[in-house]
Structure 1
Amino acid sequence: MNLASLIVFAGILAVAAGTPGPNVGALVARVISRGHKGVFPFMFGLWLGDAIWLSLAVWGLAALASTFHMAFLVLKYAGVAYLIYLSWKMWVAPVGETPDDNTIPRQGEAGKLFMSALAITLGNPKIMVFYLAILPTAVDITHVSLAGWAQLLLVMFVVLAAVDTAWVVLAAQARRFLRSPRMMRIANRTSAGMMAGAAVAIATR
């Protein structure tokens, strides 16, 4: 696969990934409420879900996704339910117990964050539709080799990692100004609203 095609794909994906949406809202809310430590499992869950949908699009397995529509739907609402649970936890969190940015996540939390993000992404087949729409603008997906598929995945991971990391940095910087109990309570409840909004947006897609 030539470099020009990969650059076009990366540019389109970067614009789409940088646009605020439910996934970005959930990510930012998590960072503002709990700090940036331990957010990587959530990010990786989002990326892996995208990688699966990209692979299905590349290999023309849209029919397979349709066959297992109900399973993807269950995953979607499982992820939504966990986002709502996180939203409630943020809303009622005592400000005195809000961890700082160096707090290590509790045991088991990383796995839950990863699975919720993966479930959210796999529960949204529109992501595959997006890849089916943009891939032909950059590559001929009817003749993608194994090496070409690997290159697309690599570009996807790099772009999503860069964009999501930028959002995390911005959210972490915003969190630095929210140290008083009053401001922290406002931040927690704003984050709770963002998380709940993300859950609703994902559920209604």
Structure 2
Amino acid sequence: MNGIENYLGFLLAGIIMNLTPGADSIYIITRSIAQGKKAGIYSVLGIGSGAVIHIILAAFGLSVLLAKSIILFTIVKWTGAAYLIYLGIRMLMDKSNLFDREKAEFKKVDLWKIYREGFLTNVLNPKIAIFFLSLLPQFIKPEHVNSAIPFLILGGTFLLTGTIWCLFLAYSASFMTDTLRKNDKIGKIMKKVSGYVFIGLGIQLLIKRN
């Protein structure tokens, strides 16, 4: 099938990978709990867009540069970590109530901001690029490794299953916290927790081995 072998095996592996909690899952859950279903959906769209970039890079071999260049990998890694820590600090410094009912209906600029943050969270994580580069070739026939088509098909499959799972996370997290949104005190606590989560993710990205 277009140079792909053991497609069902890849599908199963992809689903298992998607179910494994990671920075993207935590980001989506945090946004959904804090700001509701719409924010969660835009987070998913942003992260999905970031994954598209990684898939294209893997398909056309550009991720090899990232995998082989320690300097480039380190620059991207530190940039991504710094961005996550920045998001966390900004949430800790913001004194407004995270569950303010008057802000329930987001403006377009707010939704774009949430989308952009999700996109950058994903695309600035070099480990995702390495993941695609190491996983996809395992399911491509040797004579087709120089073709972008099997990479795009497998990447698209992984993106589809991942998006379905992420949307489920967004809807579930939002649904389970609807009652909490009516409590101002919990809203302030959740903002602090969300800030520390983002800072923790950034630090984890820095200290985790390549």
Band of TM-score, shorter chain: 0.7 to 0.9
* Match 1:158 to one of 157, 160, 163: 160
Counterparts of 1:1-205 in structure 2, within 5 Å, are 1=1, 5-66=6-67, 73-91=74-92, 92-95=94-97, 98-99=100-101, 102-105=104-107, 107=109, 109-140=110-141, 142-144=143-145, 145-178=147-180, 179-205=182-208
Q: Normalising by the residue count of structure 2, what TM-score does the alignment of the two structures yield?
A: 0.75
**Matches of 2:102 and 2:12, distance apart in 1:** 35
Question: What percent identity do the matched residue pairs reach?
Answer: 23
Once the two structures are TM-superposed, the CA of residue 18 in structure 1 deviates from its matched residue by 1.6
Partners of 1:45 and 1:116 within 8 A in 2: yes
Once the two structures are TM-superposed, the CA of residue 183 in structure 1 deviates from its matched residue by 2.4
Partners of 2:84 and 2:121 within 8 A in 1: no
- The number of residue pairs the alignment matches comes to 204
SS in 1 for 2:38: coil
SS in 2 for 1:38: helix
**Matches of 1:101 and 1:64, distance apart in 2:** 43
Deviation string for 1:50-85 (max 9, x for gaps)?
A: 233333334444443357765665554444444334
Once the two structures are TM-superposed, the CA of residue 10 in structure 1 deviates from its matched residue by 2.3
Structure 2 residues without counterparts, runs of 5 or longer? none
Deviation string for 1:77-115 (max 9, x for gaps)?
A: 4444443343244434433862479522452x4444344
Instruction: Please give the root-mean-square deviation of Cα atoms over the aligned residues, in Å.
Output: 3.2
SS in 1 for 2:6: helix
Structure 1 residues without counterparts, runs of 5 or longer? none
CA change 1:72–1:39 in 2 (3 A) is farther
**Matches of 1:202 and 1:59, distance apart in 2:** 26
**Matches of 2:102 and 2:9, distance apart in 1:** 40
Partners of 1:27 and 1:43 within 8 A in 2: yes
SS in 1 for 2:186: helix
Q: Normalising by the residue count of structure 1, what TM-score does the alignment of the two structures yield?
A: 0.77
**Matches of 2:43 and 2:71, distance apart in 1:** 23
SS in 2 for 1:95: coil
**Matches of 2:86 and 2:74, distance apart in 1:** 18
